[in-house]
Amino acid sequence: MKKYLLFIALLFSISVIKSQTPEKNLQNLGITLPKPGSPLYSYISFTRTGNLIYLSGQGPKKADGSFITGKLGRDLSIEEGAEAAKLTGINLIATLQSAIGDLSKVTRIVKVFGMVNCTENFYDQPKVINGFSDLMVAVFGEKGKHARSAVGMYSLPMNISVEVEMIVEVSEQ
């Protein structure tokens, strides 16, 4: 009987998690989305074609407007890089929400391109970009699982530690 009750409780908790909205998941994670920033140069933050939203690359912009900067393998640890990638994810979700309004319209995070500012002997780019990918799954569940590239760059604009761009499929709702 005890095992049966635990099984029922597990099924209930899974169904509750699946039924929560991305906004509720953000709230449960203690994340408040910032106001999306404006592009720094001659481009737009996102563009839509059909059901796909292409989000321009963004970096780890903090609430005070500054960025997490430096090279992985010299200035930042893998854990610090993963936190920078997570912050980048929060910023991209804020831009996505400004593009579509309700984050429940997301049907799939399709593709992520993660760039890591690193030294020539740094080989853990996937571990850094996991900070981003793990956030997408925590917020969007199965819809947050995506195809991904995680590559090292000799430099990134303004010496930011991480830059990520993504493609998202949305419903017409």
pLDDT tens track of the chain, all 173 residues?
555 444 444 444 444 445 699 999 999 999 999 999 788 788 999 999 999 999 999 999 999 999 999 999 999 999 999 999 999 999 999 999 999 999 999 999 999 999 999 999 999 999 999 999 999 999 999 999 999 999 999 999 999 999 999 999 999 86
Report whether 138 contacts 87 (CB < 8 A).
no
113 phi/psi in degrees, rounded to 5: -120, 110
- With left for phi above 0 and alpha for psi between -120 and 50, is residue 172 left, alpha or beta? alpha
Amino acid at 158: M
| Contacts by residues 48-52 (CB-CB < 8 Å, ≥ 24 positions apart) | 48/99, 51/107, 51/169, 51/170, 51/171, 51/172, 52/110, 52/167, 52/168, 52/169, 52/170
pLDDT in the model for residue 18: 54
Domain residue ranges in the chain? 22-170
Bridge partners of 22? none
pLDDT in the model for residue 6: 46
Angstrom distance (rounded) from CA 57 to CA 157: 11
pLDDT in the model for residue 19: 60
The CATH number of the structural domain formed by 22-170 is: 3.30.1330.40
